[in-house]
Homo-oligomer: A and B are copies of this chain.
Amino acid sequence: MKEDDFIVTPWEVRGEIDYDRLVQKFGTSYITDDLLKRIPDYRENIFLRRKIFYSHRDLNYILDRFEKGQEFYLYTGRGPSSGTHLGHMIPWIFTKTLQDAFGVPLIFQMTDDEKFLFKEGLDLSDTAQATLDNMMDIIALGFDPRKTKIIIDTRDIQYLYRIALRVAKHVTFSTAKAVFGFSNSNNIGSIFYTSIQSAPAFLLSEMKGRDFPCLIPCGIDQDPHFRVTRDVAPVLGYPKPALIHGKMLPGLSGGKMSSSGQAALYTTDSNREIERKVMNAFTGGRATVEEQRKLGANPDICPVYYHYEFLLEESDERLKKIYEDCRSGAMLCGECKQMLISKAIPFMERHKEKREKARDKIEDFRFTPEAF
């Protein structure tokens, strides 16, 4: 790892991610200010105005359609795992803001097959439980069930399989190897899997029998899947999916600004656990109070700061103050952590309430061919 000191694949995010380098490497485009302005209510959208979602493919094409009143939909997904933390929720909350802005349908894919295939020691009963759990967190975010349908791969495979076969026929092992870094020791399910993640991108075109493109909000780590999807789209006669890529919320354990690891705030954490995790978080602070007062700390490498930026501090003004007070040494890490706790706990309490109510709504989100 000379050139890049980080790894970003759909299954592994490691090292200090250079998001500009990823734009180059993956060949995506930055969301320019001109593009940004074409998204309704972008000023109220912290993910857009703070460039947390910062990169795209063909977003302009979707905005052209939107401006002409032409149909499109949103598609995003979740590889269900036990527990949902704030890092998982960022792209979902962002997707909700986009759905509100555009007023379009959303397909949410639960890729339980993927989790099962890629994770050693996991059974389908484990992924089934995680799927149910995660769906409660998704539904709790307030998606409209009339416009939002959730596909669970193993439950709803009948809607995906034929499209997945068409995709798979045009993807060789060589391609999958190059895109995902597979080797001969990968299992044959994991090799096939990307076809299943492609399928929802073509589902409404297939079902409606006309061009019905989608916009996919996702972490930029998922881009490789959709490069494959986009490559086969014209061969299959479907429109290419557009993408809007986000950065990943760093985990609280920090050190390396890696994926949200074990030290993350889960939606099932008690207030005490949230407090403990934040208090134990890695920060951009100095070794001693004296030093920090004198030299200031570094918010750019601080997961506590990113928790404000990505989600917990709505006000840009207040966010700026946090940044500056950190830089100047006016605010110490303890104080900053206390403030984060005072924001995280009510956020989670509200979420937990909505999460409990979501349990009874799950069936309303079931995908059917008549859904949209």
Contacts and interface: CB of A to CB of B under 8 A. Distances in A.
Contacts of A162: 124, 154
Contacts of A113: 161, 165
Given A158-B158, A161-B157, A168 B192 contact: yes
Contacts of A173: 173, 182-188, 191
A291 B14 CA distance: 80
Given A187-B171, A188-B173, A157 B158 contact: yes
A34 to B, nearest CB: 38
A164 B153 CA distance: 13
A287 to B, nearest CB: 47
Contacts of A174: 184-185
A95 interface: no
A131 to B, nearest CB: 13
Interface residues of A, number: 35
A164 B171 CA distance: 20
A342 interface: no
Contacts of A176: 188
A169 interface: yes
A189 interface: yes
A36 interface: no
Interface string A163-204: 011101111111011000011111111111011000000000
A189 B184 contact: no
B158 A185 contact: no
A282 B124 CA distance: 54
Most buried by B among A164, A183, A184, A195: A184
A129 to B, nearest CB: 15
Contacts of A170: 187
Name A's interface SS.
helix
A189 B162 CA distance: 11
A53 interface: no
Given A113-B165, A168-B117, A192 B189 contact: yes
A116 interface: yes
A169 B187 contact: yes
Contacts of A172: 184-188
Most buried by B among A124, A165, A188: A188
A278 B16 CA distance: 73
B195 A124 contact: no
Contacts of A154: 161-162, 165
A172 B190 CA distance: 9
A37 B166 CA distance: 47
B195 A165 contact: no
A165 B189 CA distance: 6
Contacts of A171: 187-189
Interface in A12-58: none
Interface string A96-135: 0000000000000000010011000000100000000000
Q: Which 3 residue pairs of A and B lie closest in terms of their CB atoms, listed nearest first?
A: A168-B189, A192-B192, A174-B184
25 contacts: A116-B165, A117-B165, A124-B162, A154-B161, A154-B162, A154-B165, A157-B158, A161-B161, A165-B189, A168-B188, A169-B189, A171-B187, A172-B185, A172-B187, A172-B188, A173-B173, A173-B184, A173-B185, A173-B186, A173-B188, A177-B184, A188-B191, A188-B192, A191-B192, A192-B192
Given A157-B158, A157-B161, A191-B192, 4 more contacts: A124-B165, A168-B187, A171-B187, A172-B185
